[in-house]
């Protein structure tokens, strides 16, 4: 008997494809789907979370007993910030259900943020650059507006919903998945508000500023301080940031304040209130 | 924002490197596979379990193993295909290369022992990597039929002297 191996035609077991074309097609399709999914889940998760009563937020934060800042080491600063929050919030026509607690953090970070349970965090890095009470009140009113608009809880709800969906898609399961959701939820709650949320918080804050001081002097100064803190940037990186950043560009926020003032007939000039004596020593 | 850009840049860089090196490695490997298949064509590899009965053969187990890994680009593309479903074409060439290489290595072992045929060839494929890395082992094994010199016609009669003359050239080790 004769045996032989005839070589089959080369490549019959491999489909002829163009991997780069396939990569671009599938990559674009996946990116579009994921973006759509995240947007839908962010919005719907946020919508559901906003229906949770504020009292529930307060209870959850009490149970968690999170250690936010260094209020006990800086009692004067903590007292002043909480008084200012009271003063600002009383001029914002809020329902009685809202409560705010301001926390001072002595880290050198140029930031302030609002998170669930009406907790506001102010960093030393931001406070030491405040030129007057009006500008500080603008930050305070902006963060209070986030809480009143329920932005932190909406962001948490949307963030958890989209993180869960993405993890399910990427194949993480069981304990891994739970761990990732929990670790991501922390970052999501503290910062990630959408640009729309920021604009809306600015609008509410500007109205509060007028109610407290009778003019808007000092409000726009805040955004100039943000610009200075960020340092000079090239036109290219500015364009990129305008696209990627969750906050509107500083120039646009200054313009928005001026436009609002023009529309409502609110003055941009007026006497500035100084920060209390000893403010620098409380830091 | 900078860290996002760095991460994205790193991923794109890895994809480009994976594509370039993966493509070059695959082309080189296929070239060597074709050359070695042509030079070892005289040793038939048969799937049948029933060996020829024309003479007496010694039967020996021969095997050829390959561990092969995908590159970053193939792995990423396969991940995208997994998302939408369909044929995972990026891995087809990987498995094709691994199987052909495993047969070639098995034939080299058989040639070293002076076999005239390899019968009853089988494959075994095992995934050996965990996580995102796609790496697999392919094992080809069969029964080498070595003509017995004492009890029948000589080896030269059986395969025309081809086998011993070419055996040195065929046992060259090849890396993927």
Q: What is the pLDDT of residue A237?
A: 59
- Sheet-wide strand order for A112-115: A101-105, A119-123, A112-115
In degrees to the nearest 10, what's the CA dihedral of A250, A251, A252, A255?
120
Whole-angstrom distance, CA of residue A216 vs CA of residue A134:
8
Q: What would the mean pLDDT of A88-108 be, rounded to a whole number?
A: 88
A279 burial level (CB within 10 Å; 0-12, 13-18, 19+): middle
Which of B52, B80, B93 is the closest to A26 by Cβ? B80
Whole-angstrom distance, CA of residue B98 vs CA of residue A170:
28
Q: What is the pLDDT of residue A213?
A: 92
Question: At which residue do the structure tokens 């349970």 appear?
Answer: A117
Tell me which of B167 and B123 has the higher pLDDT. Answer: B123
For residue B90, which residues of chain A lie inside 8 Å, CB to CB? 19
Domain spans, chain B: 2-170
* Interface touch A22/B93, C-beta < 8 Å: no
Q: How many CB pairs lie under 8 A apart between chains A and B?
A: 56
Q: Give ipTM to 2 decimals.
A: 0.70
Mean pLDDT is lowest, of A30-34, A149-153, A257-261, B169-173, for B169-173
pLDDT tier at A64, thresholds 50, 70, 90 = confident
Instruction: Give me chain A's average pLDDT, please.
Output: 82
Q: What is the pLDDT of residue A234?
A: 53
Tell me: the pLDDT tens digits for B59-80? 999 999 999 998 889 988 888 8
Query: For the whole model, what pTM was predicted?
Result: 0.61
DSSP 8-state assignment for residue B45: B
Q: What is the pLDDT of residue B11?
A: 84
Instruction: Give me chain B's average pLDDT, please.
Output: 83
Q: What is the pLDDT of residue A96?
A: 80
Give the burial string for A197-208 (b: 16+ CB within 10 Å, else e).
bbebbbebbbbb
> What CATH fold (topology level) applies to the domain B2-170?
Translation Initiation Factor IF3 (3.30.110)
> For A2, which residue in chain B has the nearest alpha carbon?
B52
- Beta strand extents in chain B (DSSP E only): 57-69, 117-127, 135-147
Tell me: the pLDDT tens digits for A180-230? 444 454 444 434 677 888 889 999 999 999 999 999 998 888 888 888 877
Which of B1, B81, B117 is the closest to A26 by Cβ? B81
């Amino acid at each position: 008997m004769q045996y032989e191996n005839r070589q089959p035609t080369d490549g019959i077991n491999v489909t002829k494809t163009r991997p780069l074309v396939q990569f671009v097609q599938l990559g674009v399709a996946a990116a579009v789907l994921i973006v759509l999914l995240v947007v839908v889940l962010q919005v719907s998760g946020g919508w559901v979370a906003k229906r949770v009563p504020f009292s529930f937020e307060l209870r959850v934060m009490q149970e968690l007993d999170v250690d936010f800042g260094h209020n006990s080491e800086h009692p004067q600063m903590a007292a002043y910030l909480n008084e200012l929050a009271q003063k600002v919030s009383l001029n914002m026509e809020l329902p009685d259900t809202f409560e705010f607690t301001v926390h001072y953090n002595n880290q050198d970070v140029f930031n302030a943020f609002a998170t669930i349970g009406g907790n506001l965090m102010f960093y030393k890095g931001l406070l030491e650059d405040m030129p007057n009470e009006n500008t500080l009140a603008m930050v305070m009113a902006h963060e209070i507006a986030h809480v009143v608009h329920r932005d932190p809880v909406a962001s948490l709800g949307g963030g958890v919903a989209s993180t869960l969906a993405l993890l399910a898609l990427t194949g993480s399961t069981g304990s891994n998945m739970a761990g990732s959701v929990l670790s991501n939820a922390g970052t999501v709650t503290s910062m990630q508000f959408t640009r729309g949320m920021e604009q809306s918080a600015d609008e509410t804050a500007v109205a509060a500023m007028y109610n407290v001081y009778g003019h808007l002097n000092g409000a726009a100064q805040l955004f100039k301080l943000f610009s200075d803190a960020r340092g000079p940037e090239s036109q290219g990186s500015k364009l990129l940031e305008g696209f990627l950043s969750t906050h509107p560009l500083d120039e646009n926020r200054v313009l928005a304040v001026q436009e609002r003032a023009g529309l409502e007939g609110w003055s941009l000039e007026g006497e500035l209130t100084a920060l209390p004596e000893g403010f620098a020593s409380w830091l | 924002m900078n860290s996002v850009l760095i991460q994205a840049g790193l991923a794109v860089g890895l994809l480009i490197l994976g594509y370039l090196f993966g493509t070059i490695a695959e082309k080189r490997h296929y070239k060597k596979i074709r050359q070695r298949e042509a030079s070892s064509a005289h040793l038939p590899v048969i799937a049948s379990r029933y060996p020829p009965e024309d003479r007496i053969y010694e039967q020996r187990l021969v095997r050829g193993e390959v561990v092969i890994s995908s590159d970053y680009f193939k792995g990423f593309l396969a991940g995208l295909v997994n998302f939408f479903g369909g044929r995972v074409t990026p891995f087809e060439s990987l498995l094709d290369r691994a199987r052909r290489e495993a047969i070639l290595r098995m034939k080299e072992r058989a040639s070293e022992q002076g076999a005239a045929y390899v019968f009853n060839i089988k494959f075994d494929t095992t995934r050996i990597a965990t996580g995102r890395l796609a790496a697999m082992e392919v094992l080809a094994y069969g029964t080498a039929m070595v003509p017995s010199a004492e009890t029948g016609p000589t080896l030269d009669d059986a395969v025309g002297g081809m086998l011993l003359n070419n055996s040195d050239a065929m046992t060259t080790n090849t890396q993927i």
